[in-house]
Amino acid sequence: MAADCRGFEVDPWQLRWCGLDVDALRRTESIFALSNGHLGLRGTLEEGEPVGEPGTYLNGFYEKRQLPYAEVGYGYPQQGQTVVNVTDGKIIRLLVGDEPMDMRYGHAREHERVLDFRSGTLRRSTVWTSPTGQSVRIRSERLVSFTERALAAIRYEVEPLDEDLDLVIQSDLLANEPVVARQGDPRFAAALDRPLVADFAAARDFHAVLAHHTRQSGLRMAAGMDHELAVNATPRCSVHTEDDLARLTIAVDVARGDTVCVTKYFAYGWSSQRSTPALRAQVEAALAAGLETGWDDLLARQRAYLDDFWASADIEIDGDPEMQQAVRFALFHVLQAGARGETRAIPAKGLTGPGYDGHSFWDTETFVLPVLTHTVPAAAGDALRWRHSTLELARQRARELGQSGAMFPWRSINGEEGSGYWPTGTAAVHVNADIADATIRYLAATGDEQFERDCGVELLVETARLWAVLGHRDSAGNFRIDGVTGPDEYSALADNNIYTNLMAQKNLRGAVAACERQPEVAQRLGVTESEIGRWRDCAAKVAIPYNDELEVHEQSENFTHYMRWNFADTPAERYPLLLHYPYFDLNRKQVVKQADLTLAMYLCPDEFTPEQKLRNFDYYEALTVRDSSLSACAQAIMAAEVGHLSLAFDYFVESALTDLHDLHHNVATGLHIASLAGTWSCCVAGFGGMRECNGEVRFAPRLPENLDRLAFRILWRGSRISVDITRDAATYSLLSGDPFTFRHHGQPHTLSDTPLELGIPDLPNVSKPEPPAGRAPYRRE
């Protein structure tokens, strides 16, 4: 029964974990988390303990906390936001005889858990013998409904194996669960002590509701549960509530071979506006609807939703079953993070854990939205509508910092800046261009004119306005953007960071184009001709630092003149560097936390020649330590483009296994949604070579030796396209919708009913670059 350090079995459509390793609980709770983007449940055991981090989250529901500073400074955010572990509805405790079922005691003869990517459920099967020798089989299955966003459900079944047994089942709603405080790592959430204040509790029959609010942020919530019970015996049932607890107790004698089966429906509502009675009514209505739908239909709807998703989004891989599984795991969790957020943010950890305080970053726009835009475009639109809904806060922030337009927060739940260290927070202004880029991509891929008029133009205009005042034309006429932080947080506060400058350029040009397409909206936003002219001029002249001697671009001005980090003398255990070396030293040396210029070459492909891309990639490859999970996917994509296909595959593997193998040692606090999304990008933009430029889609497919076949699907303006890549050719098929125009390795084609099989040109012969000493890509055993 002892699990190895990973314990996952390879299977194309599910993730199975056999054995119980209490030390791994926190990690598996994240991996087995269920979410629909609105409600998230960590993959805890039903019996509540042992537990790593209990974790029930409602998107957008947060508590405020003071941000302390040793030395205060103007414009520092005074309050941060932290995701709250809300009332836990997933607890179903079991007493066998008078022994609480607890995997730490007695003996578990069998135990497995399965996350099923097609059913959208988490199943568990356990055979457990109590310390006094009584054995039961427990089967459970749970879901967070993609179709009923407020609703989750658990079916829980117990079977006495060797003798008739007295069983007690306690189904709880539990608020203010104890949470272990963690310290010492800035990436972990600040623990909140009993964040919920009780407002209301009521119960009758199998039904209970608890309502609470948060102390500082004043958000209100309600949680409710209802149950169905199936057993061949007469149970004694009772329900009661306290401030922080509602409990249905079922005591029943079950005969050997018989079962008791409880189906628990639980629902949540929250609001900053609505009253407690209104929220109570909302969850009771959701429960009524859930009961009316019933367990089987909930399962069927979940399956149908996922069938539809996979029909648009699936990636098939031949030649590496583990990668096949990992890619579907990734897609499943990206869907879970974004499916039903509905004008709420998509946090960096989704709703899988409290990491990063539950905040959203540029990860969403740059890594997650490309996937959603081409697979679940409505979800991408919703995420951008959330950004749009925070525009007024972003405008206020720009004014507070002496700028114009909108300055979106580096990290936030509610749209307010929550970064407590401005050099790698507020100064990372590229987040504004990243939002613009996601807007441009979404508009190009969907043609959603309603969104453009309602949100898109305004997002582009207000971010463009920021760049126009943030940068300036120097005496040589170059448009400089000084003192900002690009993606590489080990090079904070740099001048003319190429990523930032090129993305600002795209932002400015996108704003010009949007205003030209929607002149009425532009007029409403007060855009003048001279303003458009300035955006055009700024974009035309962005400074792009280049080192003539080395013939490479500079990530930012002077960068290539800095001292190189001493990789040879940096032991493996001192990574990530930020936990073992001061920013003071990291910032002043050539060491790259994560793809920066490399990411710019992917997102702005026409701004570099192929020769520059190759030289740049190789130069920065030797400096990039990948201390961020956002790095490997970008390196995979560009490695594939410049011809390092084997290295691209290595980074694809690293990206795909980042969470499954816990490569960053922090899956315990939640999955890395952007890295999971990046795994899709490794396939589609890496081996598929997909690029989007000026509304044009290009592919340049090419398989690494390790794979025999890679097939993916994308949505483009309502058309569903399949790209099926083998060693020698790629076959493009139009699965539904209008004809599709694209490029294949540079040549234009139009795809309609007949699939196109197009040959793949030979790989250029290039020698493989070396990552920094000791930082080779992750190797599977």
Which residues of this chain interact with its own copies, rule CB under 8 A? 67-77, 80, 184, 186, 400-403, 419-423, 425-427, 471-472, 474-475, 480, 482-484, 492-493, 495, 549, 557-558, 561-563, 578-585, 587-589
User: In this complex, which beta carbon is closest to its own copies, that of residue 594 or of residue 635?
Assistant: 594
Query: Minimal distance in Å, beta carbon 663 to its own copies?
Result: 21
User: Phi-psi bin for 251: left (phi > 0), alpha (psi -120 to 50), beta?
Assistant: beta
| Nearest Cα to Cα of residue 578 among 565, 597, 564 | 565
Tokens of 30: 């994240």
| Nearest Cα to Cα of residue 314 among 683, 762, 729, 24 | 683
User: In this complex, which beta carbon is closest to its own copies, that of residue 77 or of residue 456?
Assistant: 77
User: What would the DSSP string read from start to end of 702-725?
Assistant: ---TT-SEEEEEEEETTEEEEEEE
Query: Minimal distance in Å, beta carbon 699 to its own copies?
Result: 40
610 close to 629: Cβ distance less than 8 angstroms: no
User: In this complex, which beta carbon is closest to its own copies, that of residue 492 or of residue 721?
Assistant: 492
Element (H, E) at 289: helix 276-313
Query: Minimal distance in Å, beta carbon 119 to its own copies?
Result: 40
Query: Minimal distance in Å, beta carbon 414 to its own copies?
Result: 17
Query: Minimal distance in Å, beta carbon 618 to its own copies?
Result: 17
User: In this complex, which beta carbon is closest to its own copies, that of residue 421 or of residue 567?
Assistant: 421
User: In this complex, which beta carbon is closest to its own copies, that of residue 265 or of residue 479?
Assistant: 479
Rounded Cα distance, 322 and 620, in Å: 29
User: In this complex, which beta carbon is closest to its own copies, that of residue 290 or of residue 425?
Assistant: 425
User: In this complex, which beta carbon is closest to its own copies, that of residue 558 or of residue 609?
Assistant: 558
| Nearest Cα to Cα of residue 313 among 254, 374, 272 | 374
Question: What is the edge-to-edge ordering of all strands in the sheet holding 740-744?
Answer: 691-693, 696-699, 740-744, 747-751
Rounded Cα distance, 520 and 524, in Å: 6
| Cis amide leading into 701 (omega within 30) | no
Alpha-carbon dihedral sign for residues 289, 300, 11, 263: positive
Question: What is the edge-to-edge ordering of all strands in the sheet holding 709-716?
Answer: 315-318, 709-716, 719-726, 729-736, 756-759
Return all residues near 716 (Cβ < 8 A) that are at least 6 apart. Answer: 374, 445, 697, 740
| Alpha-helix residue ranges (DSSP H) falling in 421-528 | 430-446, 449-451, 457-470, 498-517, 519-524
In the chain the first and final C-alpha atoms are separated, in Å, by 21
Query: Minimal distance in Å, beta carbon 481 to its own copies?
Result: 8
Return all residues near 326 (Cβ < 8 A) that are at least 6 apart. Answer: 656, 657, 660, 679
User: In this complex, which beta carbon is closest to its own copies, that of residue 312 or of residue 547?
Assistant: 547
Block residue for tokens 């199998």: 206
Q: Which of 159, 177, 365, 489 is catalytic?
A: 489
| Cis amide leading into 50 (omega within 30) | yes
Query: Minimal distance in Å, beta carbon 560 to its own copies?
Result: 9
Give strand pairing partners of 58. Answer: 39
User: In this complex, which beta carbon is closest to its own copies, that of residue 297 or of residue 585?
Assistant: 585
CB atoms < 10 A from the CB of 779, how many? 9
Query: Minimal distance in Å, beta carbon 82 to its own copies?
Result: 12
Is 489 catalytic? The answer is yes
Query: Minimal distance in Å, beta carbon 578 to its own copies?
Result: 6
Alpha-carbon dihedral sign for residues 87, 89, 91, 93: positive
Residues tagged active-site: 489
